[in-house]
């Protein structure tokens, strides 16, 4: 990656992030986001996802280097370092990730399109168990999945909600997607699937009036959906920057040895 000289600085609204932004105010000749070649993000994973989505929505996607001022910080670098921030960004390793493109049809027949960097989740809205038909590449694989919900995770998001739902951790270079049920009742023994990332995945909500279902693409929710279709958006690539030895692929490997 060529040297990045014009950097923007974005901070979440937390006290820790704002204090860090103040401390870095004179550490670099920061420029406005619209003039930048890359962005330094101060906050947690949630703020990083918010920043990436804002860039996707604006169609101006910049490499993002995160400093963890939140909790887990899976998409971030350690906040404290011995080197100046400009040196850290200059020596960072670039990791490309592609989001999921989701198309969802609501009860009124309207179609909404969203992107998800981590996962797309279908979730029941009431006490009634959701019933969902699952298709892959146009072929019905499960005619009726009775569950609290179901999700599709990218490798970058496989250690988030997907892992909590007992889904598999996917290495970044695996070119795979995790299809994971959430509290499945029928088929009782189905624990999900690992699919090639060129797969077209579809969900159709059965008995939607009696058993309403919402869909969540990262942080955005649509309620009372009837049908959801997913595929990797190969034309909308994002770039995350990591310190040497602390890249996202290494964190995914490390996560599999946590006890």
Whether the Cβ atoms of residue 138 and residue 200 lie closer than 8 Å to each other: yes
pLDDT of amino acid 166: 93
Say yes or no: 209 and 90 in one domain.
Answer: no
Mind listing the pLDDT tens digit of every residue in the chain (259 residues)? 567 779 999 999 999 999 999 999 999 999 999 999 999 999 999 999 999 999 998 878 999 999 999 887 888 999 887 788 999 999 999 988 899 999 999 999 999 999 999 999 999 999 999 999 999 999 999 999 999 999 999 998 998 899 999 999 998 778 999 999 999 999 988 999 999 999 999 999 999 999 999 999 998 999 999 999 999 998 888 999 999 877 677 777 777 777 6
- Residue 44, domain CATH: 3.40.50.10330
Among the options 15, 19, 26, 45, which is catalytic? Answer: 45
pLDDT of amino acid 161: 93
pLDDT of amino acid 2: 61
Tell whether 2 is covered by a domain: no
Tell whether 83 is covered by a domain: yes
Binding residues: 45-46, 118-119, 148, 156, 159-164
Say yes or no: 227 and 182 in one domain.
Answer: yes
Q: How many domains does the chain have?
A: 2
- Residue 215, domain CATH: 2.60.200.30
pLDDT of amino acid 183: 95
Degrees, nearest 5: CA angle 256-180-142: 150
Say yes or no: 57 and 165 in one domain.
Answer: no
Say yes or no: 174 and 220 in one domain.
Answer: yes
d(CA 34, CA 15): 25
Say yes or no: 121 and 190 in one domain.
Answer: yes
7-11 and 111-116 strand pairing: unpaired
* Rounded (10°) CA dihedral 153, 157, 160, 166: 40
Percent helix, strand, coil in the chain, to 5, is 20, 40, 45
Say yes or no: 148 and 65 in one domain.
Answer: no
Say yes or no: 22 and 80 in one domain.
Answer: yes
Tell whether 166 is covered by a domain: yes
Beta-ladder partners of 221: 216
Say yes or no: 188 and 105 in one domain.
Answer: yes
Tell whether 139 is covered by a domain: yes
Say yes or no: 78 and 116 in one domain.
Answer: no
Binding residues for NAD(+): 45-46, 118-119, 148, 156, 159-164
Say yes or no: 201 and 154 in one domain.
Answer: yes
Tell whether 1 is covered by a domain: no
Tell whether 168 is covered by a domain: yes
Tell whether 120 is covered by a domain: yes
- 59 catalytic, yes or no? no
pTM of the model: 0.86
Parent domain of 201: 100-232
Say yes or no: 90 and 207 in one domain.
Answer: no
Tell whether 179 is covered by a domain: yes
């Amino acid at each position: 990656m060529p040297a990045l000289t014009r950097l923007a600085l974005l901070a979440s609204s937390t006290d820790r992030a704002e204090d860090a932004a103040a401390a870095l105010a004179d550490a670099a000749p920061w420029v406005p986001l619209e003039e930048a070649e890359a962005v330094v993000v101060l906050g947690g994973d949630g703020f990083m996802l918010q920043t990436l989505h804002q860039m996707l929505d604006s169609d101006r996607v910049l490499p993002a280097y995160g400093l963890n001022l939140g909790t887990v910080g899976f998409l971030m670098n350690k906040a404290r370092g011995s080197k100046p921030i400009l040196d850290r960004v200059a020596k960072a390793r670039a990791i490309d990730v592609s989001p999921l493109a989701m198309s969802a049809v609501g009860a009124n027949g309207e179609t909404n399109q969203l992107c998800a960097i981590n996962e797309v989740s279908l979730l029941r809205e009431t006490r009634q168990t959701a019933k969902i038909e699952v298709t892959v590449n146009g072929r019905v694989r499960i005619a009726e999945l009775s569950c609290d919900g179901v999700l599709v995770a990218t490798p970058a998001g496989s250690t988030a909600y997907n892992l909590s739902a007992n889904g598999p951790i996917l290495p970044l270079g695996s070119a795979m997607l995790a299809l994971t049920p959430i509290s499945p009742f029928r088929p009782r023994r189905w624990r999900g699937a690992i699919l090639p990332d060129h797969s077209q995945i579809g969900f159709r909500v059965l008995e939607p009036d009696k058993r309403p279902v919402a869909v969540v693409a990262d942080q955005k929710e649509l309620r009372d959906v009837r049908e959801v279709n997913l595929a990797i958006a190969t034309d909308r690539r994002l770039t995350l920057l990591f310190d040497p030895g602390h890249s996202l692929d290494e964190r995914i490997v490390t996560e599999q040895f946590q006890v």
